[in-house]
Structure 1
Amino acid sequence: MNLQEAFNQLLANRMDYIGEHILSKMQDYQSLNDECSELFAMLTAEISEGMKQLWLEYEDKMMLIQGLAESAMYEQGVKDGIELSRVLTNTEFSS
């Protein structure tokens, strides 16, 4: 496993942890998630099978987009944190 693959695995594990241990305990997140699930069920119950398939394909693509965006933001946050640590460490020694 190369460094990028290891970093990607670290990010995936951390994001899973956040979802399982942090988001799952956030009342606002849970409420919105429940509302979205209800709306999704209502929408799919009202549309034809052909449109349902199109809607599910759209939903899958949106989930992939969201996952990519979250992963990129988290990765950049980690990189920014490392850089900030370096800056602060260098500032401490030069003071």
Structure 2
Amino acid sequence: MKKIYEAWEDETCSIAFSNIESINTQCAKGLLSEKAKLLHRVEADTWEEAMSEHHIKMGWEPYVPVGEPQECPRECGASFYPEGSGACPNCGNVC
């Protein structure tokens, strides 16, 4: 269930970080500069996991997910953030 996320930086030093589908849409609509440079690519099961890795790669403070973690309602044993992505790393979207 992993998704690919990318971080891009444009000539104004603005950084875009999103899943590859959204990045492709932004490029197609001209919302991401043609001069933007790929900073890094992350493969992750959830938005929270992707953002945690992105923050590490950028040298930023640790990412703080939205809300409190809860046990997956499908009882797979994993935790997820229902106020955030609502995605379980084992089961996918559960909210």
Question: Whose strand fraction is larger, Structure 1's or Structure 2's?
Answer: 2
**TM band (smaller chain):** under 0.3
State the structure with bigger RCO (CA 8 A, min sep 6), 1 or 2.
Answer: 1
Which structure has the larger Rg over C-alpha atoms?
Answer: 1
TM-score normalized by the length of structure 2:
0.26
Question: Whose helix fraction is larger, Structure 1's or Structure 2's?
Answer: 1
